[in-house]
Amino acid sequence: MNTSAESAAFRFDYRPAAIRYGAGEIAHLGAELAACGVERALVVAGTTTGTTPAVIDPVTDGAGGRSADVFAETTSEKRLDTALAGAERYEALDADGVVALGGGSSLDVARAIRALVAHDERDAAVASFAETGALPVPDDLPPFVVVPTTLAGADLSLVGGLMATPANGHVDEAVAGGVSAPALMPDAAVYDPDLVATTPSDVLRASAMNGFDKGVESLYARTATPVTDGTAARGLRVLRESLPTLGGDDPAYGAAVRGTILVQYGIARPDATTLALIHAFGHGLTTHSAVQQGAAHAIVAPHVLDSLFERGDCRRDLLADALAVPSDADPAAGVVEAVTAVRDGLDLPTRLRDLDDVAEADLPAIAATTAADDLTENVPAGIDVSDDALTAVLRAAW
């Protein structure tokens, strides 16, 4: 879909979660579970998030007796064996719904748990993942409520990452893949800035760059629509003002959460996504390095945009307006400067050479992985996304 002209036809098929936002709104988690028909929810959380009283207590209290137990086992690796253990816990508890608490890792593992508990032939599903990298998703999934504690924008999504290694005992060689289906969209999402405020500052700031870039990409992707233009543009304005406060004395948690809701609204749809080259680079870098996704974005985003604007219009005027670039400034340069300012305000890494496990000799391999990523299909038409072109972007970021 080409939306370079305002009169271009478009199709917007989006079925989001019910959204509840506000400080203290986690107290109404039970109401959302009741609306989904859930009596015994398994709360899926990280090893830290799920055991920290300031985070988990408001969630279990807010569930109002509709929480069966807490499965505090997820990690940043998003392991298949963790999802399998979660599915076994779900069945042992006779649970009837899932609550995902935390960042993208917990939300992705929770999506895999939902798929696994719905399978009659779980071993066959695991074998399919080992062969294809895609975990099959049945139609009849248990209800799902997400409670995000970061700003990565992984909540209003119908995809999730998953990793398996031979050490897990389920595959013969490492498999990086995931789950994807319209049914994986949550039934409800509860956004409470008070819970987000419990997340360590360094983790929160890195996640914020990931979420911010979702708004940037929603405006230049070839799959953009007028609906996502509106939500992403408004969200970017809110985030540009609020994100740099996260490292200061008076963090604007509420505004940051609202902006994150807006920039991800409509980006993950059954027939399209607006994630594009920045996220593809994020996948390429995290495949070859232990760097966190948001930190990877922070390093490459200005250079990706600079490269895009050299090769095409890429809706620079719309981006410049969303990022409040002065009208008398060059829009392309102004957008790159605004994104850089957000990155620097979050005190995130700026150069690939500063990553401990990335060498300059690795750049062509990272570029090749990035070029093979499906998200490059969303880059505007006519933009070179070959290995050589992407290696040049990485060298600029080196």
The three-state DSSP-derived secondary structure of the chain is: CCCCCCCCCCCCCCCCCEEEECCCHHHHHHHHHHHCCCCCEEEEEECCHHHCHHHHHHHHHHCCCCEEEEEEEECCCCEHHHHHHHHHHHHHCCCCEEEEEECHHHHHHHHHHHHHHCCCCHHHHHHHHHHHCECCCCCCCCCEEEEECCCCCCCCCCEEEEEECHHHCCCCCCEEEEEECHHHCCCEEEECHHHHCCCCHHHHHHHHHHHHHHHHHHHHCCCCCHHHHHHHHHHHHHHHHHHHHHHCCCCCHHHHHHHHHHHHCCCEECCEECCCHHHHHHHHHHHHCCCCHHHHHHHHHHHHHHHHHHHCCCCHHHHHHHCCCCCCCCHHHHHHHHHHHHHHHCCCCCCHHHCCCCCHHHHHHHHHHHHCCHHHHHCCCCCCCCHHHHHHHHHHHC
- Separation of alpha carbons 210 and 282, rounded Å: 9
What is residue 385's predicted lDDT score, i.e. its pLDDT?
Answer: 96
What's the rounded mean pLDDT across residues 277-289?
A: 95
Identify the residue with better confidence: 170 or 313. Answer: 313
Answer whether residue 302 shows pLDDT above 70. yes
What is residue 1's predicted lDDT score, i.e. its pLDDT?
Answer: 38
Percent of the chain with pLDDT over 70: 98
- Locate 14 and state its tokens: 């989006």
Answer whether residue 343 shows pLDDT above 80. yes
- Separation of alpha carbons 75 and 79, rounded Å: 8
What is residue 173's predicted lDDT score, i.e. its pLDDT?
Answer: 80
- Separation of alpha carbons 127 and 110, rounded Å: 19
146 φ, ψ (degrees, to nearest 5): -110, 145
What's the rounded mean pLDDT across residues 186-195?
A: 98
Return the top range by mean pLDDT from 37-46, 123-132, 175-184. Answer: 37-46
Q: Give the pLDDT band of residue 204 (cuts 50, 70, 90).
A: very high
Answer whether residue 5 shows pLDDT above 80. no
Least confident of 4-18, 209-223, 273-287: 4-18
- Locate 120 and state its tokens: 């009659």
What is residue 7's predicted lDDT score, i.e. its pLDDT?
Answer: 63
Answer whether residue 159 shows pLDDT above 60. yes
What's the rounded mean pLDDT across residues 318-339?
A: 97
**pLDDT (tens digit per residue) in 253-262:** 999 999 999 9
Task: Check if the beta carbon of residue 95 is closer than 8 Å to that of residue 41.
Answer: yes
- Separation of alpha carbons 208 and 73, rounded Å: 24
- Locate 347 and state its tokens: 């005190």
Answer whether residue 20 shows pLDDT above 50. yes
What is residue 6's predicted lDDT score, i.e. its pLDDT?
Answer: 60
What's the rounded mean pLDDT across residues 301-306?
A: 98
Answer whether residue 131 shows pLDDT above 70. yes
Average pLDDT in the chain: 94
What is residue 162's predicted lDDT score, i.e. its pLDDT?
Answer: 92
